[in-house]
Amino acid sequence: MTKQTLEQEYQKKSDGSIVHETAPVASQPSLKFQDPSSVNGAALVNESSVSKSIGWGSTFNADDSDYVPVSPWAPIALCMGLLGLTGFIGYFGLYVAFFGIFIGIGAVKQIRASGGFVKGTWMAMLGLVLSICNFCLGSAKMSYDYQHEVPAGYQRVNFQKDVAEKQFVFVGGYRKLAPEVASVIGKKVYLKGFMYATQATDGLRQFILLKDNGECCFGGKPKSHDYVIVTLPFLKSSADRPAISRRAPGMSVVELNEDSQKKLVAKEEYQDEKFQMVTRAFVGMVAVAGVLEADVRAGTGGPRDDFEYAPVYKMKNVELVEEAWTRF
């Protein structure tokens, strides 16, 4: 009896343990642990190909997030090409275009040699092409302007080199002109210089032409060989306007009123004309065409300052005043 009872209890315990071991547990997920050393390269998942979720439910691949920077030389080459456009109006732009060519070539080589680490080839190429076109076309335009800016019948004279730098020759205390300068006195010449700053901006009949912009823009008193007194002519009628003056947009003919005519009676050059040529003021380099005259006795007998700064050079009946086509 006792033995049978013990066998039944043992059977119940055995049956309960079996059920307990084989019964599934839904609340605890099964976890698998794998030794990293047993994982081969084929079993790894490439993270770059995993689709990741970003804001608002959209997805992107990690491959699309690769960023290739633009080479800093590419925008520099483009800027140089754009700045080189000023070569059509001045020689400074030609210098910019010239250096822009080398910068553009260097930028293209640097981008191609990077192996894809930087981009901007088309930007650098565009800057290079612009620099080449600006330099070539700008140089051609400037050469054409230089060859055609001097009116027919006039002689080109470099004010600074051919007149101002020659100064004067003193013989026995008397002022004389240098032989090179004396050879152009009384002839029709084409000079370039800068207007002395005045308050008037239009309607100028007379002005001072300086050899450079140092004294016209930064003050100072020019010496006798550094400036020319320029005077425009009186006209009997508006039809007497010089033909070459028509190419200068800043020149015009104005009619003199009675008060102006009375004030001009004392002037030697005035002979009862009713019209006069005038011009507007220019900030940059200006070109003047007329007959160059000289009075070496100007300021003689007065104080030394009057003699040193006396107006020796004059240009009367000037037929052309315009903004210079070229700066040399």
Final residue belonging to a domain, choices 129, 146, 163: 146
Q: Are residues 105 and 223 in the same domain?
A: no
Q: Within a domain: residue 46? A: no
Which residues have a Cβ under 8 Å from the Cβ of 281 and sit 6 or more positions away? 195, 198, 200, 201, 202, 204, 207
Q: Is residue 23 part of a domain?
A: no
Domain, as residue range, for 239: 155-323
Ranges of residues in the chain whose predicted pLDDT is under 70:
1-65, 197, 215-220, 265-266, 268-270
Same domain, 117 and 231: no
**Inter-axis angle of helices 91-113 and 121-148, nearest 10:** 160
Instruction: Confirm whether 32 is domain-assigned.
Output: no
Region for 120 from its dihedrals, namely left if φ exceeds 0, alpha if ψ lies in -120 to 50, beta otherwise? left
Same structural domain, 117 and 181 = no
pTM value? 0.69
Examine the fold and report which residue of 146, 181, 198 is the final residue of a domain before the chain moves on.
146
Q: Given this model, what pLDDT does residue 20 score?
A: 43
Last residue of a domain, one of 100, 129, 146: 146
Same domain? 183 vs 307 = yes
Number of domains in the chain: 2
Q: Do 201 and 316 share a domain, yes or no?
A: yes
pLDDT score recorded for residue 71: 93
| Coil, helix or strand at residue 77 | helix
Q: Burial of 175 by CB count in 10 Å (0-12 exposed, 13-18 middle, 19+ buried)?
A: buried
* Domain match, 319 and 184 both: yes
Q: Per this entry, what is the length of the chain?
A: 328
**Number of CB atoms found within 10 A of residue 105's CB:** 15
CA distance 230 to 223: 16
